[in-house]
Amino acid sequence: MGMENRGFTLIELLIAVAIIALLAGIAYPGYSGHVKKAYRAEIVALLTDQAQHLERFYSRNGTFIDASGVSDGNDRYRITAALGLHAFSLLATPVADSVMATDPCAAFGLASTGERTNPGAMPDMSRKTCWGQ
């Protein structure tokens, strides 16, 4: 009896590749959703931290005008601050070429009144979904 050279046939290999592609196609959107959720939580925490920083500045100076140390944001969001005498608003806008550029929550706004908004968000995105609260 001779030893047969037994390996994978092309069909078996194609079936294995198709199964791997199918599993990856199912898993990747879920993974991507978890990554975006983590990045949303990160920007919410940064905005909250910046609001507390501004409130401390107001307690010392009686105004938000000329407050220093406001963050520019991170790799995924840019923060702009509108500082007034007795009020402020922070807006975190997704960076155009970041993973969050197409996030359905869009931008995050936080005002000195505590109001939380998501300008440009998809209609089915709730504040609870975007802000995680």
75-108 residue pLDDT tens: 999 999 999 999 999 999 999 999 999 999 999 9
- The number of folded domains in the chain is 1
The answer to whether residue 44 sits within a structural domain is: yes
| pLDDT beyond 70 at 114 | yes
The answer to whether residue 5 sits within a structural domain is: no
Q: What pTM did the predictor assign? A: 0.79
The answer to whether residue 45 sits within a structural domain is: yes
pLDDT digits (tens, 9 = 90+) for 48-66: 999 999 999 999 999 999 9
- Hey, which residues does 73 pair with through a beta bridge? 78
Residue numbers of the domain that contains 63: 10-131
Q: What pLDDT shows up at residue 66?
A: 93
The answer to whether residue 3 sits within a structural domain is: no
What CATH number is attached to the domain comprising 73? 3.30.700
Alpha helices by DSSP H, listed for 10-107, are 10-61
